Amino acid sequence: MYKVVRLKPFSAPRDEGYYDRPITHDLITDIFLEFSNRTREQESAEYSRSLTGNTWYLGVTRQHLQVWRKAVIVKKNKERAKPMRGGILSLVNEKNEILGWRLCQTNANAEIEEMLEGLKRRCSELTADLSEIIIADNYCYVRGAITKVFPDASVVLDVYHLLARYLAVIINGSKNPLRGAIAKDVVDAVLKTRASGGQCAEYWGKQEQEEQLQAMFEKWTGKGNVWTAAALKLNHVKKGCLVRPRQDIAADGNHIEGSHKGWNSIMRSFASGLEVFTALGHDFVLHRNVRVANSKPWSSGSFLASTHGSHHIRLSNHVNKLWNALVDQEKFPSGLQRRPLLNSASTSEAFGLVPSAFSVTFGGLLEIKSEAEDISDTELLKMESVLDNELEPETVLRHLDIDPLLLLQPLPPLL
């Protein structure tokens, strides 16, 4: 029996029916985290495990994750540990879909190998071909980790970061009036034709790239007051790391930079800790992947087309399963068609803030710092003052093991 509900007037403020108190930020946070733990995290992971690609872009965003450096664990003996020393590791395909992501606890390549091993198992279960080309924004450091998992893949550097390395060693940096002309010459030395109108960019061969980069360098050296002394350390970028084994597939690397902007927008738009940032990351990845797939008809799978753009993937998949079960129970021919289901690999891949087998095995790598007092405001300000742009000249040179002090010295005359 249902209880009859009578019409009642609105209650007065501050009585039992209407307390007149606003919803607190903590309550909103708790509701969002509960929503993420129950649905969004699993939905985002299941859809990501259904994706593969012909070209993969591996990117590591370390400089932007400022909250990583603030995460401190305090033990009972008042020892303070900073367990998070890595950044956001993301993998994007040529369609701009995020195949996987994790918040790395260290800067070790072992965590990259862990994520790539999961992707390898996914491709095997989905009977998808492995990528022939893997583009990395930090080619020199991650190439070994990639080839260990995918020995037959060609690991290459993207043009964007090659250009950043040359522009980082120009005298006066962005204030140099010749910066634009130098950038054009660097790109022209690598690309035969740029991507446009749906056509992929065409790259010069290894020999042509080396000769043209050297000619470009000597051209601007002859003009004088262009390069700093650090420019002499860039010889290794001319040794074939920009060569593409295939010209018929997109392999320029700009996709990973677009995803970096998305991660950065989360940090700038939401004042969040690690837990909330992880939840926002799952939500961001799912919305981005669904939006990208629906924006291009050629990339939209049959299952995603049946969702009509909804990001409630699990609900749509469950509805399709129920529909198929009812269609199978039809005793008479009805002409009804079965609906497609999400083909997600049943691998053990996890995304976001996940346990790292490398960190668990080598726990001694975690830096423990004993302090008698809490972190001061001055220390927090120092953490905040870390460069917000990973392509700043000093940051680029540190990744290349080049002394930043060389930026203060002009290039000596070449004999």
Q: Determine the straight-line distance between the first and last CA of the chain, rounded to whole angstroms.
A: 99
pLDDT at 62: 53
Confidence of residue 238 (pLDDT cuts 50, 70, 90): low
Pairing label, strands 154-157, 133-136: parallel
pLDDT at 18: 52
DSSP assignment of 264-298: HHHHHH----HHHHHHHHHHHHHHHHHHHHHH-GG
**pLDDT averaged over every residue in the chain:** 77
* Percent of the chain whose pLDDT exceeds 90: 19
pLDDT at 254: 61
pLDDT at 37: 92
pLDDT at 368: 39
pTM of the complete model: 0.75
Of 122, 201, 121, 124, the C-alpha closest to 156 is 201
pLDDT at 385: 40
pLDDT at 259: 73
pLDDT tens column, 354-403: 877 766 655 434 443 444 334 344 443 343 343 344 456 666 666 666 67
Highest mean pLDDT, choosing among 45-49, 188-192, 304-308: 45-49
Confidence of residue 149 (pLDDT cuts 50, 70, 90): very high
Confidence of residue 296 (pLDDT cuts 50, 70, 90): confident
Confidence of residue 69 (pLDDT cuts 50, 70, 90): low
pLDDT at 34: 93
What's the helix, strand, coil split of the chain in %, to 5? 50, 10, 40
pLDDT tens column, 206-230: 888 888 888 988 898 888 888 888 8
Q: Which residue has the tokens 């401190």?
A: 72
pLDDT at 119 over 50: yes
* Percent of the chain whose pLDDT exceeds 70: 72
pLDDT at 379: 41
> How do the domains of the chain map onto residue ranges?
25-157+253-323+345-375
Confidence of residue 21 (pLDDT cuts 50, 70, 90): low
State the greatest distance between any 2 C-alpha atoms of the chain, in Å, as a whole number: 99
